[in-house]
Amino acid sequence: MLTFDQAKQLILQQIPHCPSNDPMEEWVIDDSHCHEYPEYWYIWGNARGFVEYGDTLYLLVGSNGYLVDKISHEIIALGSLISPQQYIRDCQDERAAAGKHYVLRYRQPENPQEQKRQLLQLKQMFSCNYRQAQQLQYQPEWLSTRLATLQEIQTHLSQYHIATEIILCENLPEYTIIWQYYCGEEMYLPQKLSRFIHDIKNTFFRQPETPQETPSCKTKSSN
């Protein structure tokens, strides 16, 4: 299994040689920002002037370090918005899904009075009419993407008393919104919510407003 020193050497071999004659611009590893995870070493570095002297004039932006797989020695470069914890979690979630898709699904209340209240909540949330709100109930598999994003949206919807659950689907219904992503990628929550509402309107409200049968899905978790 790869040691910390070996991981650092792998990273240093990948970093292009600094063309500048200024030694302060040389890329160096900052051991104090490095971390060990069960499957990876996290290696972080920056220009010597910033790492050793704290001079922000030499700070290199746009990078958030590297993950080095202890077994395969694979090197993963992380962008500025990607934390090593989020990347690792996304990989774990993908393995747990075993080839299936995480889906945010609307959960229809059993109580008729609650169903009416839910219609009103959907109407307000998505600025739509009652028939369109009913359509969201008839086509409940709304969004498929990374689990962490679905959980954030689910939490937000629950604050407006809109009940959903996160399930695993082997085959997605045709109407389901799919957000492609790379492990660890991130958007701020307001951006996600704005995009979610926009995509719901563009996708569902352009469909025929009639009930459709959906493929059976295995329930993963509920809220």
What would the pLDDT profile of 24-52 be if each residue is shown by its tens digit? 999 999 999 999 999 999 999 999 999 99
Query: 176: helix, coil or strand?
Result: coil
> For every residue of 83-125, which 3-state class applies, written as one string?
CHHHHHHHHHHHHHHCCCEEEEEECCCCCHHHHHHHHHHHHHH
Phi first, then psi: give them for residue 26, nearest 5 degrees.
-70, 135
* pLDDT at position 110: 86
Backbone φ and ψ of 59, nearest 5° = -65, 125
Q: According to the model, what pLDDT value does residue 194 have?
A: 92
| Alpha carbon distance 182, 87 (integer Å) | 9
- Residue 185 has a pLDDT of 64
Q: Which pLDDT score is estimated for 186?
A: 66
Contact indicator for 217, 163 with CB cutoff of 8 Å: no
pLDDT for 122 equals: 95
Distances (CA, A) of 51 to 55, 62, 197: 8, 16, 43
Q: Is 161 helix (H, G, I), strand (E, B) or coil?
A: coil
CA distance 65 to 109: 46
Residue 170: φ, ψ to 5°: -80, -40
Residues of the chain with pLDDT under 50: 209, 216, 219, 221-223
Total length of the chain: 223
**Which pLDDT belongs to residue 221?**
47
Residues 76-112 have pLDDT tens digits of: 998 877 889 999 999 999 999 999 999 999 998 888 8
pLDDT of residue 81: 76
